[in-house]
Chain A
């Protein structure tokens, strides 16, 4: 093979691999990204019932109820709107009423959010940025640091 041919083989391989990678990335981005909504967003926008989404806000005081078996019901609020959530499974250690929470799942046609994953955090003082923003938009909390603890 001449020098030129060798180089073209090399370039063709690179282009092929990069092309495949770009295809995979675009395909996966189309398919597997999850949008985040606050309870107010859900009240305003229409969210397709079968779309996977994340919701976040504060766990409303006094809303946590245990159902049959391992089922738990609670409500997530950004103080303007409130969204009921059903979850079956083990809640994270730092899940508590009045604290920030992020849940992933699907919104039912009855307006109840069925979560299959409730996200934990590692630190008492940590507030997921989305939740902090959602609360800030409602004017609940202006600060840079974590919002006032309610318990």
Chain B
């Protein structure tokens, strides 16, 4: 019964989304306010209906209702509760329901917070949102219905893929989707603006908070996926340049570029055509990501069994929205007038350089990800493009970007002074040089470029700190004035600096673990001792143990450093009951200096095991860096100028006026 309610509300939501598509846009064309207002009500209604759908599916999972085919295939009564719930989106059908629910959530948020938007813009935005919803709802109902019943109902389900039974991966899809789908708002705003032909700095101000929120979620989502791959797959790596990873990374890159170009558009009324194009491309890349992951056209280590017919449907959706938006763009782009003149060396120039390098990097990732597919369809030859390609193309493009990051916020709009900025950065330059020299002295071995690359991370961090220091006149004014300036600095300035610091921290982590990782694969019998990166690991055997829905073999390694016991590592091999599948759990000892990481391999003769161990220096900083980036976004989002919806003056006359940023 509950499943039928869910199915029913799903179909109703499709009807509502069609209303939301047609009436508001028609109303905006005719200038009919009451038709335009249908959009808000429809967006709210659609969200409520999909919430019921999602709740119905969740109830089916939680109560293990195996008469529902989807639950039967992906759940098991012995599964822990967390994974019964995360099982809802741990499969194709359920994850698409989560996708449209997130889409509807963003749509209803626009309806709710967008009270100050011009009514015709709002109507067009909601209309475009409605059409995206309609396409995906039709996709779910016609190709991937999660509410199909089975009669008679079996007693037990086949269970969730064990490697998905993990806390980080439970929350990875919701965050990733919030990011992907959040970019749909920027897309809808872009298309709405193209429909009306009116694009001004206010447009950028409305779009930025949504883009920023989507970007924050995507940052965390990708980071969680990477963390999961690191400790669950047992390969000791954190990023594999795998097509599925690239599929989420490309929208992130385009979204990052969009965030920066929208600043130029908001402040200087320039880069309009480019920003609109980026907004379209960012969401198109999100759609492509969904297509690549859901269609299974690419060989990927992260691929799951999929149905090719569904891929064609998503491909059609992608072609319709991307093609339609680009056609509209081609027709309207020439009416967009460029404003705001500026010299090449200026804040605008720096942001253009940022956009140029990031989008070029994104294009390189795009080529590497799709080239095998293109080549195969043309010549039939099968190839794979692996990490060496991306390291040789993407990484060199990011180096000038990182060098330029500290300069950006220190250059003035219109005409910047690069010598002056360098003078303001002298402390950062000195500290970076010091860090590079210190790294050379301490590391001893490793690639000779590595300390320089590490210095890039330090440079970005120090640059961000220097910029705040310069703006509050640290060491140049009395302390009370510095404090007053610190208080009055807009939150967005802190947000920018924090996000840039996050980038720097992440770069240090990436360089540290890439350049100085130690790896060792050996056969070990109980009692054997092996050394890695100054630690000795003694294998004291394997004991069987029973988990809630698996049996495992837990190994114990006693780790000693300079003769004293430091910790014990417990890597294990699990054999799940349903489905009967083995997983590897790494034993990890985390510290600031790096992670000691051990994995049990296959059992050999006489109780010996293949053991793979790693020392990954500074690897934690990668994920800590992404969390700092997220926090930077959050701080920016609380800036009143960026508040969701059209920013308006506070009605309280006593509210302190913020100091203008420039």
Contacts and interface: CB of A to CB of B under 8 A. Distances in A.
B356 A13 contact: yes
B303 A121 contact: yes
Interface residues of A, number: 51
Interface string A115-135: 000011111111111100100
Interface residues of B, number: 59
A122 B396 contact: no
Given A9-B344, A120-B301, A17 B356 contact: yes
Contacts, number: 142
Contacts of A25: 364, 367-368, 393
Interface string B384-401: 111011001100110000
Nearest to B600: A90
A17 B241 CA distance: 23
Interface string B296-319: 111101111100100000000000
Interface in B321-348: 341-344
B161 A122 contact: yes
Given A21-B360, A122-B304, A34 B383 contact: yes
Contacts of B581: 93-94, 124
Nearest to A54: B384
Nearest to A69: B523
B299 A130 contact: yes
Interface in A73-115: 88-91, 93-94, 102, 104
Contacts of B602: 66, 72, 90-91
Interface string B349-381: 100110011001101100110011000000001
Interface stretch (B26-34, B471-479, B543-551, B604-612): B604-612
A102 B383 CA distance: 12
A17 B357 contact: yes
Interface in B579-597: 579, 581-584
A1 B382 CA distance: 52
Nearest to A32: B388
A34 B371 CA distance: 12
Nearest to A71: B523
Contact of A70 (B360, B384, B521): B521
A93 B357 CA distance: 39
Contacts of B299: 102, 128-130
B599 interface: yes
B121 to A, nearest CB: 30
B605 A66 contact: yes
A140 interface: no
Contacts of B389: 28-29, 32-33
B608 to A, nearest CB: 9
Interface of A is mostly: mixed
B383 A35 contact: yes
Interface in A1-40: 1, 3, 6, 9-10, 13-14, 17-18, 20-21, 24-25, 27-29, 31-36
A22 B619 CA distance: 31
A24 B364 contact: yes
Contacts of A44: none
A144 interface: yes
B412 interface: no
Contact of B521 (A1, A90, A129): A90
Contacts of B296: 129
A27 B523 CA distance: 39
A93 B388 contact: no
B168 interface: no
Contacts of B364: 21, 24-25
Contacts of B601: 70, 89-91
19 contacts: A10-B352, A21-B364, A24-B397, A25-B393, A28-B368, A28-B392, A28-B393, A32-B389, A36-B384, A66-B604, A66-B605, A70-B522, A90-B234, A90-B602, A93-B573, A122-B163, A123-B303, A125-B305, A146-B305
Closest 6 CB pairs of A and B: A90-B601, A36-B382, A32-B388, A28-B392, A125-B305, A93-B582
Interface of A: 1, 3, 6, 9-10, 13-14, 17-18, 20-21, 24-25, 27-29, 31-36, 54, 66, 69-70, 72, 88-91, 93-94, 102, 104, 119-130, 133, 144-146
Given A29-B367, A121-B301, 15 more contacts: A13-B356, A24-B393, A25-B364, A25-B393, A32-B388, A35-B382, A35-B383, A69-B522, A70-B604, A93-B583, A102-B299, A119-B301, A123-B303, A126-B305, A133-B382
